[in-house]
Structure 1
Amino acid sequence: MDKIKLLWSKTNRWHRGFFVFLLVELRVFPERQLGFQCNDPALSHPFTGDTISWKLLLATTVILPLVVMLLVERKYHNDKSGKSKQAMFWFKEYLFGLLVNLATVQTLKLLVGSPRPHFFDTCSPKEALTCQGTEYVPKYTCTKAHWISQSDKSFPSGHTSLAVHTAIFLAYYLYRRTITRSNKILLLQVMLLLSAAVCSVSRMWDHRHHWWDVLAGAIIATPVLLYTIYSLCDNFECKMAAAECPSKVESDVVDAPLVSPKET
């Protein structure tokens, strides 16, 4: 026990976050399997693929925030040294928040075990061949090997949770760190929120999730997002030393800066 405590004391939040995520992905925790009703129309949709793939979603949620923050800090806060320390600091905190989000979603998927709308098509449970009417089947066995570990991972929607997390994070970041209220910034904020909405709705029209899965994904993103913004990123106030904290550009605009760098 002492060795375990010593090892744990030498880890940081990143180690612990990845450790939990790894345990979930390796299915170390007991999996729950919700049953199904025979001939349930909500589970009888055909699998048609993803409008927004996981690869595209992850690439967007990782690359876009980095690009936006680097450009904003350079343009509005004289961070032209090439080091972009403040932007990189916030990006690192954002990534940790994203890891917390993803680990939470994957854990719930494992513990709930909810069938997807294309459950009968992709799982093809052998019990469905003999059940009749609206009989409830508490246990089942998928016959399609490729989908054995995916057909019952509907709740909650990971796409929705990550998309909402990224879109609101960036929209609020732009609100806090851009000095002027330009139409271009407003348009960008609207586009970010609309993209999250489109991603969320696509999970339903693709029949990859039920509406309550999508709603749950958005709800889960909310507390993780608040933790990321206010605790990890300190509401986007500069936390670096005064000598290192990028100063704001001089502007002819009368509007006062939204955020003043902290001097520590």
Structure 2
Amino acid sequence: MAYARLDDSTTMTFPFKPLNPLPAAAPMTSIRRRKLIWSYLPDWILTIVLAALFFSLDKVEGYRRVFSLQESSISHPYAVHERVPNVALYFICFVAPLFIMPVINFITVRSWWDLHNSTLGLILGLALTGSLTQVVKITVGRPRPDLLDRCQPPSGLSDPQYGLTSWTVCTQTDNTILRDGFRSFFSGHSSLSFAGLGFLSFYLAGKMHLFDSRGHTTKAWLAFSPFMAATLVAVSRTMDYRHHWQDVLVGSLIGTLFSFFSYRQYYPDLSSPLSHRPYSPRIKREDPEVLPMYQNNNNNDNGNFVGQRPTDPSSTAYRPNTYHSDEAYELEGTVPRPGPATLTEVWHEDSKRDVDNSRAEREALSPQPHGSS
């Protein structure tokens, strides 16, 4: 026997494609609103802490590699005025997406929850990228292409026999300029621009359903325009002789990776038919319209709840023994999160699967009765 939920919602095919619209969610109460805030408060705190860590590491004295005074790759002039200074970088990678995404939100889904997820995802990607970039920079200590101009070694000085030169020979009096000369790998401008504008690009692609197999070129140009802007920022670092090409390439790849990682934390796959919607909150909604109803299992061979999905493995619908009930978690205009609702359910599901596999192996190895086919 089981308890069934009296609900007029209909079956949804995998993944997340509704056959009929789900009923409108109940109005959010103040209790649920507080639960939502407390549920995502650690996420905001962590991103802010990581962002603060990113800025604090800039003053750390990192490792400084030895170099050759005859090395041509580090003999380029020091550019006093950069094409993309730090202030401009922050506007490009953070402020611009922060203002553009709400406009896209208003034109498309008009969802406060989408605004929350997009902002949190953007900050998460930038914080992760910036923190990793700074840690690698101060640890690797690779000389920039303009190091010799920053160092200003004494005239006529040459490398020691069978050796390289240390930074201690430099006559540069501004330690900030000299310290920054050993932070070439990898490019922070490249990684941050691709992290911020890359997130914006994925956000655009999801809202426009770029991968709907219809091949609209307008969608492709719009979705990848932020990547083009990020590429220009990255290339400018080689024009200013601030980075080697390897630094720019690795930084761009790192920024793209983290932007996609942070985007997928809060949005479904870009090929999903509901890619324009954000994932639903992590806590259950309050739905007073759902009522329990007693039912005999003989009328339901799969032991499901009424209004839920069948457990038949051959079915294309959701299976409640594998995926949690999306109606219990859905916020109007969002996509149900795939997989079990909590880590506890994941662990229990994994343990049950091990037990079932062990039982199947024992039955396969047990001797068959005589006369059996």
Is residue 117 of structure 1 aligned with residue 170 of structure 2?
no
Match runs of 1:1-264 below 5 Å: 12-14=45-47, 16-18=49-51, 20-21=53-54, 24-27=57-60, 31-48=62-79, 49-79=81-111, 84-126=112-154, 129-132=156-159, 136-141=163-168, 142-144=170-172, 145=174, 146-178=176-208, 185-233=219-267, 237-240=278-281, 245=331, 247=333, 261-262=335-336
Distance 1:222 1:190 in 2: 12
1:44/1:121 contact within 8 Å kept: yes
Distance 1:43 1:134 in 2: 20
Deviation at 1:131, TM superposition (A): 1.3
Deviation at 1:22, TM superposition (A): 5.6
Deviation at 1:186, TM superposition (A): 3.6
* Percent sequence identity over aligned pairs: 22
Alignment root-mean-square deviation, CA: 3.2
Deviation at 1:191, TM superposition (A): 2.3
Q: Match for 2:139: what amino acid?
A: L
Which structure would you say has the larger Rg? 2
Cα distance, 1:191–1:227 mapped onto 2, change above 3 Å: closer
Structure with the higher helix share, 1 or 2? 1
Distance 1:170 1:77 in 2: 16
Deviation at 1:12, TM superposition (A): 4.8
Cα distance, 1:155–1:231 mapped onto 2, change above 3 Å: same
Deviation at 1:58, TM superposition (A): 0.6
Deviation at 1:209, TM superposition (A): 0.4
Cα distance, 1:88–1:158 mapped onto 2, change above 3 Å: same
Unaligned 5+ residue runs, structure 1? 1-8, 248-259
1:200/1:214 contact within 8 Å kept: yes
Aligned length in residues: 236
**Structure 1 stretch 193-202 or stretch 224-233: which is displaced more?**
224-233
Q: Match for 1:73: what amino acid?
A: N
Q: Match for 1:152: what amino acid?
A: F
Deviation at 1:185, TM superposition (A): 4.5
TM-score, length of structure 2 as denominator length: 0.55
